[in-house]
Structure 1
Amino acid sequence: MILSARACRTRGNPSLAPPASRTAAGLPPAAGLIPGCRGGYRLFRRPAVGWRAMLGRRLCALFAAAASAVLAAPPGERWAPAYSQASILNLASGLPELAPNTLAVIYGQDLSPIAASRIEAAPNAAILPTTLPGTGVTVKVNGILAAIEYASPQAVVFIVPPEFVAGTVSVVLTRNGVNGPTVRVPLQDHAPGLLPLESTWALARDAQTLDWRHADSPAAPGDEIVLYGTGWGQTLRRAVNLQPASQRTELRAREAVSVYLDGAEAPRDHILYAGASPGTAAIYELRFRLPAWTPADPEIRIAINGRLSQEGLRLRVDPTRAQPAEARARSTQ
């Protein structure tokens, strides 16, 4: 899915309004599948195998379609990249809420001459690239080059450098020496977003079996699951710009993390881990045991210091599959 033909013909407006919906921006309502990421998009140092490959494919669904290359400025043209403050969003939540170490996306026009992804340029990079071959695209945040994960004519995915603190930063995208507008973007300490699997369903896997939770394999009360997201804030072992996380490290705000199922707060002692996902950049994971009262397919949200993730994302749960008490006890040993 890409922008409508009418939207594709509109150019030369640097004060782009925010997309009326994720569909209008080239994304389905929450994630959906978007072509253009061959083999699944990897955000990892080591080759994506097993659950990492699956996570990579789900992340790929959030990136813009390679077919949008028709929007690129022709060779030799000097059209400036067009975007606005309102078109810079959290990749997971789709909201204009960013924090340090967040996967962010800039939507606009003439952002890159071609579509390119890091999986093809540097799939196992120990140092993440600040530009992708053939794109000539860089993004600077307060003058610091950011890691680029994906670039296309209408969307560029980058990582907000983790060294920043809450406040206002300047963001500028440059394509082959031609600068777009410098826009001021607010950063929060925490801007939590949960990564979707598809449509309105959360990306989740079983912590024991590593199986992905979907319509044919739902979770059950008592299961331990792992959720993924971005924008969760600083960790005890500070993230370093352009470097994937080398190990698990808890959030600094670990004690201020809550999980809500259909609006009801789950017991905090059911949160077993909340922090960096090793081998990834700007991806966090939360390991969590579903309480016995978990309803069928609940809306799931997390909060960090009171800041909530996006609404409308649901978790595949079938209460009729609830584990016996002795099985739940074994799973936590």
Structure 2
Amino acid sequence: MALSADGNTAIVGGQIDNDGAGAAWVYTRSGGVWTQQGAKLVGAGAVGIALQGAVALSADGNTAIVGGPRDNGNVGAVWVYTRAGGVWSKQGSKLVGTGAAGPSSIAGQGGSVALSADGNTAIVGSPFDGNSGAVWVYTRSGGAWSQQGSKLVGTGAVHVANHGSHVALSADGNTAIVGGSDISNVVAAWVYTRAGGVWTQQGGKLLGTSAALDTLAGCTVALSADGNTAILGGSQYNHGTGAAWVYTRSGGVWSQQGDKLVGAGAVNDVYGAWQGGSVALSGDGNTALVGGQRDNGVAGATWVFTRSGGLWTQQGAKLVGTGGIVANQGWSVALSADGHTAIVGGPYDGARPGPYVGAAWVFVNNPVLSTIPSIASGGVMNGASFLPGIAPGTWITIQGTNLSATTRTWTDSDFLGNNLPTQLDHVSVTINGKAAYVYFISPTQLNVLSPDDATQGSVAVQVTTTQGKSNVINAVEAAFSPALFTFSQQDGKYVAAVRADGAYIAPPNLISGLTTVPAKPGDTILLFGTGFGSTTPASPIGQLVNPAPLANQVTVRIGGVTAITQFAGLVSPGEYQFNVVVPDIPNGDNAVSIEIGGSSSQANALLTVQR
């Protein structure tokens, strides 16, 4: 099974559906309620019993890959699906890698699958290829998939490696980890990196310390979003008790981080709990999920571990979903990018002696909001001027109650490559039905970047949390909503200005602990704002950007005098910078305004000048 980055889309595979044809089901969450989205996914063109059911999702949940390792007499294949408007459709024909080896090319391609965050890179495991295993990489361009290079076979394997029994990819798709088992089933995994479209093995195979024989470690693997943290599961460690090992990468070198992870509270029978039978990591690599499908007489359970300061500790008691019937919970697991949503599979759930329908359980660790979120009347405003009116690519402030259970800004782990996050801790915002980009959340205020939208006029703004959807507030959207950022003190009337040498420009002692100086005529100063529209070349809203000049001309006035503008453009998402020369104006507080497209920034912005 797999989860989208925000945890709101899940895909669950069922290999033995329809007498082994296999299938996958997609579920979506809204307001804390899960519903199946469309019919089950069954790849066309399958030959014989395919066992379709190994699954992976892109970060946005709009691309899915499903493996069928027994297709065409165990050659194996994978199918790709894409979602548009809530409808899933197959993308192209099934993928079968070239160069398979072994008796009758029985490779088992699709025994494991993984996708990059953008869904444009896929890795496919084939644990039986050539009696040692291999993996294939595919890339997508313009909706078409093609194999990237030859199959990957790890060096240093001893005996039957089962290379490719499990696979994982970093968010950018440039780091892959491939699980297998070394001689006598001891922990083993291989890491590959991509540069210029070429894959190479990074270092030797990973062998967990303290791993005894028959650990089957390395058969389950997961990676953090940046690819610098890996976890390997070994379900047969210590006579079936099981364990997991964490590794970190620094300067291209991998090392084990701490001792093996073994969850407390396991109920081991003669076969053990099989901890490490499945593993997952959050995007930042600080939360790990470890499944143990044979805990408590095949009821199964899952353990959560968190990392702080490089040390791993178990978080709470083991997770066991209610209503399970000897389900083998923990057979498969997945985590959302923020680590707050976990899904746990139990493929054998159902009354004995069968048939085994299977089920999945979802767990969340978010603080519970007491009430539905509510946006205040007039609570949608420009994030710099705090006045009504918004524009595409503008920083917006939303005020209200119960907007979030937590308070934080985005961090690096919230990003998916260059893409800004559209949710933080399951708090999201739509403007005219399109997802905004969420920078800051708190119970009473959100700061978001408005999405690209050509609509001018009234647009609906709505907040969604785990408790449901807020009321809808209508805001007026235009092509421009120019506003200057100001220092927070003095009712925000002094513009946030910086001299070219880095000195802050404001009246002396305006800000406690910060040295401020007045501007002088002839100084080159930097002003900052939002809502100034498009650039040339165009900068995509919702992504990290390179500085680019504005597409439309601006007029900067200080003290009523037009200032020379040396640069006017976008320097970071939603933030515009203006390099201007202070004109020959009197001492004192002088009004500052910037006009673009017939609209002007707020009227009460001031700049202090002292000759």
TM-score, structure 2 length as denominator? 0.36
How far off its partner does 1:88 sit? 0.2
Residue identity matched to 2:421: P
Structure 2 CA distance for aligned equivalents of residues 106 and 201 of structure 1:
22
What runs of 5+ residues in structure 1 fail to find an aligned partner? 1-73, 320-333
Matching of residue 250 in structure 1 with residue 549 in structure 2: yes
Partners in 1 of 2:520 and 2:414 — Cα distance?
Answer: 38
Gaps of 5+ in 2: 1-365, 509-515
Residues 116 and 297 (structure 1 numbering): CA distance in 2 closer, same or farther, change over 3 Å? Answer: same
Query: Which stretch shifts more, 164-173 or 225-234?
Result: 164-173
Are 1:126 and 2:415 an aligned pair? no
Of 434, 453, 477 in structure 2, the residue corresponding to residue 144 of structure 1 is: 434
The answer to whether the Cα contact below 8 Å between 2:407 and 2:443 also exists between their aligned partners in 1 is yes
Aligned to 1:301: 593
Aligned to 1:63: none
- The alpha carbon displacement at 1:155 in A equals 0.5
Q: Which has the larger radius of gyration?
A: 2
Partner of 2:495: 202
Aligned counterparts of 2:577 and 2:495: Cα–Cα separation in 1: 12
Q: 1:261 to 1:126 in 2, by over 3 A?
A: same
Deviation at 1:250, TM superposition (A): 1.7
C-alpha contact (below 8 Å) 1:221/1:293 kept by paired residues: yes
Paired position in structure 1 for 2:203: none
Once residues 602 and 476 of structure 2 are traced to their aligned partners in structure 1, the CA distance between those partners, rounded to angstroms, is 18
Q: Is the 8 A contact 1:162 1:239 kept in 2?
A: no
Distance 2:552 2:586 in 1: 25
Secondary structure in 1 matching 2:374: coil
Structure 1 counterpart SS, 2:378: helix
Distance of 2:495 and 2:471 partners within structure 1: 34
- Please state whether the residue corresponding to 2:609 is helix, strand or coil: coil
User: Which residue does the alignment assign to 2:457?
Assistant: 167
Q: Which amino acid aligns with 1:271?
A: T
- Which residue of structure 2 lines up, in the alignment, with residue 153 of structure 1? 443
How far did 1:125 drift? 6.3
TM-score, reference length from structure 1: 0.65
Preserved CA contact (<8 Å) 2:376 2:401? no
Distance of 1:126 and 1:294 partners within structure 2: 45
Aligned partners of 1:235 and 1:251 also within 8 Å:
yes
Percent identical across equivalent pairs? 26
CA contact (8 A) 1:85 1:184 kept: no
Aligned to 2:557: 260
What do the CA deviations read for 1:174-201 (whole angstroms, capped 9, x no partner)? 0115011233322111111100123221
Distance verdict in 2 for CA 1:185–1:85, change over 3 Å: farther
Closer/same/farther in 2, CA of residues 179 and 265 from structure 1, 3 Å limit:
same
Q: Aligned-pair distance for 1:219?
A: 1.4
Confirm or deny that 1:82 pairs with 2:379: no
Q: Which residue of 1 aligns with 2:298?
A: none
Structure 1 residues 172 and 224 mapped into 2: Cα distance closer, same or farther (>3 Å)? Answer: same
Once the two structures are superposed, residues 76-133 of structure 1 have per-residue CA deviations (whole angstroms, 9 ceiling, x without a partner) of 556221114621010100101111110001100111011111147548962211112x
The answer to whether residue 571 in structure 2 is matched with residue 271 in structure 1 is no
Shift in CA distance, 223/107, structure 1 to aligned 2, threshold 3 Å: same
Distance (whole Å) between structure 1 residues aligned to residue 602 and residue 411 of structure 2: 27
Greater fraction helix? 1
Q: Is the 8 A contact 1:149 1:157 kept in 2?
A: yes
